[in-house]
Structure formats: C-alpha cells, structure tokens
C-alpha cells in the first residue's frame, strides 16, 4: 500500500486538528482561492505587524491534503517576516516538484518542519495543487497586505 | 455495542447480467493492464471518457495505414476512399440515432457542438443573409437551461446571453435529484428562444422526462437542444421520438476516439442557421468581396475534419449496435441497482441523486461521511479503482446539494459485479484508513 507515503500521520493530525483555523480580526488583506478542478476553497487573511506576519487566519473546505497543508503552513509562517515566509513557500514548492526524491526532502527538513511530511504528495501530480493552494493564497494575501502597508 | 453491518449474502441481489462481461473485456486492450503495483484496473470512469475496444483502434489505424487523405478534396484514389469512409461513418451514426444523413454534423465533442449552436444564434443577429436571421437571439429574449447541466451545456448559454443581452433562466432541482418542473410553464414562456436540457445527468444519473419540456417549448415556439453526452452512449436514443431540434454528444464517451462529437439538428433548423467557424470545406463560392456557404452539414464543418476519428466512431457504433442498446441499458440498470443497494448499505455513505433505478442511469455519485471525495478517490486509486472525484463539471449541482464534491462511479459495457464489489470494498477500506467507520453509531 502506497497510501501511507502520502498520508503521513503528521498530515492526518493536522487535518483532524487544524492549527490556527478560523477567520480573525484584524487583517490587512483577505483572499479567496479555489482549485477549479476539484472545488477546494480557502479564504485566508493576513495580519502584519511591520513586515512580520502576526497572524494568518483561514476558513476552507477541501481534502485532507489541502486542509493539512494550510495548518502546517500556519505553524511555519507566524512570526516570520513576509520575505522569509515567501522563501519558505518557495522551498515548499521545490518539495512539491521533487517527484518523491528523498534527497530533496532531507535537504529541506529543517526549513519545512512538519510540512516536509508532504513529500509523499509530490509523487501524485493530481494532488500537488491541493497542497499548494494555501501557499498560493498566502503569497497573494501577503503581497496585498504588504503592498497596502508600504504604499 | 459493536456489530458487523449486515450485508446481503453474496450474489443475493445479483441478477444475471445481460452482457457477457468477460468476453467484452477481452475486446478492450487497456483492461488487461494493471495499475498501482500490479492491481487489476477497475475502470469506473466511463462517464468522463470510455475505454476503446480493439475494433475502434483498428479502424483508426487502418484508415491511417491504407486510406489517409483529406476528404471532400482532391480527385485521387485515396481522397475518394477517405471521403467514402468519412461519409459512410456519417450514415452509420445517423442511422444509430434515427436521423437523416445531412442532419449529422461532426464537431470536436459535445462542448464544441453546443458552442456551434450558441454562436449560430448570436451570429444570426448580424447575418447578411436574411435567411440566417430567423433564430436570432437578442435583447428581451430568454434562454432556458436547468440547474442539472454540465458546464458544457451551461456556460455557452451564459456567454450567449452576455453577447446578445438575452436573459438566462433555469429550471431547478428537487431534493431527490430530479428536475423541478413545477414552474415549467412560467420559466419557458413566449420570450424563450431555446431550451437546453440534458437527457441524463452526468453527476446524479437522473434521466429527465423530456416530453413535457419539449411540449412546452413547442407551445411557445422555442427550440430545444438535448445534451445526449451521457444518454446516447448508454440507451437507445431516436431523434424522431425525442422531438427536439438539436441533439449533441461526444464520441469518446461511447467507445469512440477523442476529438469527434456530433451535432444533430433538424434539417430545417440547421439550414436556417449561419455558421460558427468559417474557412475551408464549408464554402460555396469565395470572392475577395465575400463568400457564400454550403448547406448543412458541410456549413458547420470548417477545415479538414477529424477523419480517422469519425471512422473510429463509426466502428464504435458498430460495436454498440452488435451488443444492442436495449441490452446495454438493461446491463447498466442491473449494475446500478446493485451498486445503489450495496453503497447505501454502508453506514456513512450518502448517494447524491435518485436513490432507486427509476428513470436513472449508471452514474452513481456519493459522499462518505468524514472523508473528502479526493481522499476517497485516492484510497480507491491505490486499490486500482478509477473513479471521478470533484464537482464533475457541474458545480451548481454539488452546490445545490450542499456538498463540496462527490465521488462518482460510472458503468459501461465491460463493467461487472466484481467491479462494483471492488468499489464497495474500497469505500470500506477508505473508512478504515481514515478511521471513520461508523458501524457502532448505527448498531
């Protein structure tokens, strides 16, 4: 059974007990992203303190991968600066493009913490978008929030 | 109290299947391959696209190897043969749906066929030839669809309305997955120019009662387009009995190749429509100042057509006719009855769509409590079972029933009870894997 490689316990834990779920005030930007092939949706808000991400709050519906991904992302980006968080997002993207190469996962382990558990997803092209949706939403929201603040 | 869910004894509800599944499977090369580490392929996604029997593949290969040329051009022997094969396939497909040959237009697929009509109706408004303006759609006109439509029979009509200023209206759905016809007489009215309705829902499996809709459309002088993408492959369809003006369907869902679909239109209506795509093949006379067009069906077949695919579709029709469409329908009905019973016996499983086989085809959509359809599909895939997950290009339908998505199994001529049993076992495996086996709750 190949399933365990995708559904790591860490992923299922995040799915069942999501971290940071719910929409909160205050926020500088809110975005709504959908995955049109399957109907997964996430509404995500970003609250910045200077260039630091003070809060990411979200509501969404979707599969275990998409919901666990946003929860793991929440843990990774709170308290980081926007450029740091976006760089982490790039690393996550690299992991998703790794086609299950264990060397890539190993290299990114420290950087991605729990999110490295998504390495197994990279072997399933149809599911990569599920894992990436929340990171795309974060990129979009933080760009808007940051742009709004800097202007 | 823990209790094993009672299941019907093996074979208890398995009526003998009308089709010889093992013999049919031997005709489909792809069904002999394995997937996901040596598992038998259980293909329950024919509603998305069907697999192809060897005779269809052979017909395409034979065309390319022995007869390939552009039809309706050139005077050489290959051109004659290619034209002959192309038109013979048209005749075969026309006969399959009880139509006249010149009423069968080849398109890329159902989507293309719907767009051909939708664009003809807006092009009609600005057509130079008065004879092409008869069905023009404009401000104050109404187009009627249903909430059950595949995006292919919804979005082109939304776009037609945006282009022309017409208004889109729709018939709703009942809680048990059927069309709500209670306001048919007001939704379809004197302003209605066209009613577009599916004969069989790709997600709910519902087979719609077209008679009252066609009758009402006739009363008010509206055209009727029937989406046959999920009906023509699975049941006998006769355009005369249908009484509609257009029937659209795809070759790839009926054992044929991708890249070929059919727009059937009543000749009188087709003849009064301007073209959608223009260019080679469809013209009568071309001058620098302007051009005139061929009569149907050529008027709607611009460019060198998908000749090999049309020939392949002809072979698919031969294959289906040899089985008999009544038999195909009965086969799928038996499978659907069994699948509905088995799936609904699993605690936590909810079928989205009619719960019984009355006016219902072999598309069974369901949700599993506590597991997202994507995750159900992933577990099934791991077991070699191919199903569709998501909104099935019918987003308003899943929204109507308050679910984010569904898992859908669709049946065809090679489907047997072993496939349905694999599906049912797979759903139980998904419940075990995600730890949401709700037996206790219902015991």
pLDDT tens digit string along A14-26? 999 999 999 999 9
B12 occurs within a structural domain: no
Q: Identify the three-state secondary structure at position B75.
A: coil
Of B380, B388, B378, give the one whose Cα is nearest residue B421. B380
Domain A3-145, architecture per CATH: Alpha-Beta Complex (3.90)
Round to whole Å and give the CA distance between B154 and B144.
10
Q: How many Å lie between the alpha carbon of A47 and the closest alpha carbon of chain B?
A: 28
Distance CA A24, CA A28 (A): 11
Structure tokens of B289? 């100042």
Q: How far apart are CA B340 and CA B75, in angstroms?
A: 56
Asked if residue B339 and residue B250 are part of one domain, the reply reads no
A83, with CB counted inside 10 A (0-12, 13-18, 19+), is exposed
Phi, psi of B439 (to 5 degrees): -55, -45
Partner residue opposite A3 with nearest CB, options B374, B405, B433: B433
Residue in B152, B262, B393, B424 annotated catalytic? B393
Q: List the single residue in A with minimal CA-CA distance to B430.
A: A3
Among this protein's residues, is B393 annotated catalytic? yes
Same domain, B314 and B405: no
Cβ separation A41–B395 shorter than 8 A: no
Residue A5 has what pLDDT?
86
ipTM: 0.89
B377 and B259 in a single domain? The answer is no
- The answer on B303 and B373 residing in a single domain is no
**pLDDT tens per residue, range B69-117:** 999 988 899 999 999 999 999 999 999 999 999 999 999 999 999 999 9
Task: Tell me if A38 and B375 make a contact (CB, 8 A cut-off).
Answer: no
CB contact under 8 A, B390 and A37: yes
Residue linked to tokens 């509905």 = B340
Token pair for B159? 């776009």
DSSP single-letter state for residue B371: B
Last residue of a domain, one of B275, B292, B321: B321
Residue B299 counted as domain residue? yes
In 3D space, the residue among B204, B214, B228, B192 whose CA is nearest the CA of residue B114 turns out to be: B228
Phi, psi for B427 (deg, rounded to 5): -65, -40
Which of B321, B355, B372 marks a domain boundary? B321
Cβ-based contacts of B382 with chain A (< 8 Å) = 1-3
Q: Which of B 334-373 lie inside 8 A of A, CB atoms?
A: 372-373
Q: Which helix (H) or strand (E) holds B286?
A: strand B283-287
Q: How far is B375 from chain A (nearest CA, A)?
A: 6
Residue burial B378-395, b: 16+ Cβ < 10 Å; e: rest: bbbbbbbbbbbbbbbbbb
Q: Which residue of B has its CA nearest to A40?
A: B404
Does an H or E element contain B61, and which? Answer: helix B54-62
The tally of domains found in chain B comes to 2
Q: What is the 3-state secondary structure (H, E, C) of chain A?
A: CCHHHHCCHHHHHHHHCCCCEECCCCCCEEEEEEECCCCEEEEEEEEEECCEEEEEEEEEECCHHHHHHHHHHHHHHCCCEHHHHHHHHHHHHHHHCCCCCHHHHHHHHHHHHHHHHHHHHHHCHHHHHHHHHHHHHHHHHHHHHHHHHHC
For chain A, the first-to-last Cα distance in angstroms comes to: 53
**Cβ(B149)–Cβ(B197) under 8 Å?**
yes
Interface contact flag, A39 B404, Cβ < 8 Å: yes
- Angle of helix A82-96 versus helix A125-150 axis, rounded to 10: 170
Shared domain for B285 and B398, answered yes or no, is no
Total CB pairs under 8 A between chain A and B: 47
| Pair (B106, B248) in one structural domain | yes
Domain that holds residue B178: 56-321
In a domain, B4, yes or no: no
CA distances from A142 to A48, A78, A82, B403 (A): 8, 12, 7, 30
Q: Which of B36, B389, B391 sits opposite A2 (nearest CB)?
A: B36
* Domain boundary residue, one of B268, B295, B321: B321
The reported pTM is 0.93
Query: Which residues in chain B have Cβ-Cβ distances shorter than 8 Å to A41?
Result: 404
Count of C-beta atoms within a 10 Å radius of residue B190: 9
Find tokens 């910045």 and name the residue. A48
Please report the pLDDT score of residue B423 as a whole number. 98
Of B39, B372, B402, which to mutate for an interface test with A (greatest number of A Cβ within 10 Å)? B372
Positions in chain A short of pLDDT 50? 150-151
CA pair distance B139, B163, nearest whole angstrom = 10
What CATH number does the domain containing B368 carry?
3.90.1150.10
B39 and B106 both lie in a single domain: no
pLDDT of residue B2: 39
CA dist list (Å): B197 to B162, B224, B228, B252:
19, 8, 9, 20
Q: Are residues B273 and B368 in the same domain?
A: no
In a domain, B16, yes or no: no
Tokens 């303190």 belong to residue: A49
| Closest residue on chain B to A34 (Cα) | B404
Q: Is the dihedral of CA A104, A106, A107, A113 positive or negative?
A: positive
- Give all strands of the β-sheet with B388-390 in edge-to-edge order: B349-352, B363-368, B406-410, B388-390
CATH number for the domain spanning B273: value is 3.40.640.10
pLDDT at position B91:
98
CB of B433 less than 8 A from some CB of A: yes
Question: Is B404's CB within 8 Å of A3's CB?
Answer: no
- State the pLDDT at residue A46: 97
Task: Quote the pLDDT of residue A150.
Answer: 47
Mean per-residue pLDDT of chain A: 92
> Cβ of A3 and B374 within 8 Å?
no
Strand B406-410 relative to strand B388-390: parallel, antiparallel, unpaired?
Answer: antiparallel
Helix, coil or strand: residue B172: coil
Burial of B340 (0-12, 13-18, 19+ CB in 10 A): buried
Q: Are strands B223-227 and B246-250 parallel, antiparallel or unpaired?
A: parallel
Task: Give B310's contacts (C-beta < 8 A, 6+ positions apart).
Answer: B86, B89, B90, B106, B260
Enclosing H/E stretch for B143: strand B142-146
For A62, the closest of B37, B372, B395 (CB atoms) is B372
Which 3 state secondary structure label does DSSP give B15? coil
B360 DSSP β-pair partners: B206
Could you tell me if residue B36 is inside a domain? yes
Chain-centroid distance of CA A29 in Å reads 17
Average pLDDT per 10 consecutive residues for chain B, totaling 443 residues: 43 83 98 96 98 98 98 93 98 98 98 98 94 97 98 98 98 96 98 98 96 98 98 98 97 98 98 97 95 97 97 98 98 97 97 93 96 96 96 89 93 98 98 81 42
Closest by CA position to A87, among listed A106, A65, A66, A112: A112
Closest C-alpha to B252, from B60, B394, B101: B60
Of B375, B389, B398, nearest to A64 by CB-CB distance is B375
Verify that B110 and B36 share a domain, yes or no: no
Residue matched to tokens 């005139």: B292
- In a domain? residue B3: no
């Amino acid at each position: 059974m190949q399933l365990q490689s995708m559904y790591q316990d860490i992923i299922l834990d995040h799915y069942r007990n999501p971290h940071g779920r719910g929409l909160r005030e205050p926020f500088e930007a809110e975005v709504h992203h959908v995955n049109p092939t399957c109907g997964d949706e996430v509404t995500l808000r970003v609250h910045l303190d200077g260039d630091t991400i003070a809060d990411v709050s979200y509501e969404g519906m979707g599969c275990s991968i998409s919901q666990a991904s946003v929860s793991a992302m929440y843990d990774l980006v709170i308290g980081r600066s926007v450029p740091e968080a976006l760089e982490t997002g790039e690393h996550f993207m690299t992991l998703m493009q790794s086609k299950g190469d264990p060397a890539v996962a190993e290299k990114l382990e420290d950087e991605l913490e729990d999110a490295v558990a998504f390495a197994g997803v990279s072997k399933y092209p149809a599911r990569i978008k599920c894992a990436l949706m929340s990171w795309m939403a974060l990129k979009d929201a933080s760009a808007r929030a940051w742009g709004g603040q800097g202007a | 109290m823990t209790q094993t869910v009672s299941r019907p004894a093996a074979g208890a509800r398995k009526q003998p299947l009308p089709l010889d599944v093992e013999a049919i499977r031997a005709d489909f090369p792809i069904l002999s391959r394995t997937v996901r580490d040596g598992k038998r392929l259980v293909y329950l996604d024919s509603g998305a696209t069907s697999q192809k029997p060897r005779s269809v593949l052979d017909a395409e290969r034979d065309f390319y190897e022995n007869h390939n040329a552009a039809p309706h051009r050139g005077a050489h022997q290959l051109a004659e043969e290619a034209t002959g094969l192309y038109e013979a396939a048209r005749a075969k497909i026309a006969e399959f749906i009880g139509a006249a040959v010149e009423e069968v237009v080849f398109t890329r697929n159902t989507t293309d066929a719907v767009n051909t009509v939708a664009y003809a109706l807006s092009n009609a408004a600005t057509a130079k030839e008065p004879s092409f303006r008869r069905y023009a759609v404009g401000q104050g006109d109404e187009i009627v669809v249903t909430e059950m439509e595949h995006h292919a029979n919804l979005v082109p009509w939304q776009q037609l309305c945006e282009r022309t200023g017409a208004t889109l209206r729709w018939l709703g759905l009942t809680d048990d997955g059927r069309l709500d016809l209670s306001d048919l007489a007001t939704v379809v009215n004197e302003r209605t120019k066209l009613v577009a309705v599916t004969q069989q829902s790709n997600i709910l499996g519902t087979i719609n009662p077209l008679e009252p809709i066609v009758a009402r459309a006739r009363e008010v002088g509206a055209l009727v387009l029937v989406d046959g993408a999920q009906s023509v492959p699975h049941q006998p369809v006769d355009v005369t009995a249908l009484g509609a003006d257009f029937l659209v369907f795809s070759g790839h869902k009926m054992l044929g190749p991708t890249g070929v679909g059919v727009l059937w239109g009543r000749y009188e209506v087709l003849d009064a429509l301007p073209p959608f795509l223009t260019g080679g093949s469809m013209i009568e006379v071309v001058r620098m100042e302007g051009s005139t067009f061929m009569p149907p069906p050529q008027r709607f077949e611009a460019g060198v057509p998908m000749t090999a695919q049309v020939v392949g579709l002809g072979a698919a029709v031969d294959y289906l006719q040899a089985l008999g469409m009544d038999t195909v329908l009965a086969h799928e009905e038996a499978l659907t009855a069994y699948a509905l019973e088995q799936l609904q016996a699993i605690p936590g499983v909810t079928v989205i769509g009619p719960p019984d086989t009355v006016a219902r085809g072999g598309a069974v959509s369901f949700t599993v409590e506590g597991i997202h359809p994507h995750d159900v599909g992933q577990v099934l895939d791991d077991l070699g079972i191919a199903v569709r997950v998501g909104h099935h290009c019918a987003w308003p339908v899943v929204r109507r029933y308050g679910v984010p998505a569904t898992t859908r199994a669709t049946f065809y001529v090679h489907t047997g009870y072993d496939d349905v049993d694999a599906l049912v076992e797979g759903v139980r495996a998904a419940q075990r894997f995600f730890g949401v086996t709700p037996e206790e709750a219902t015991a």
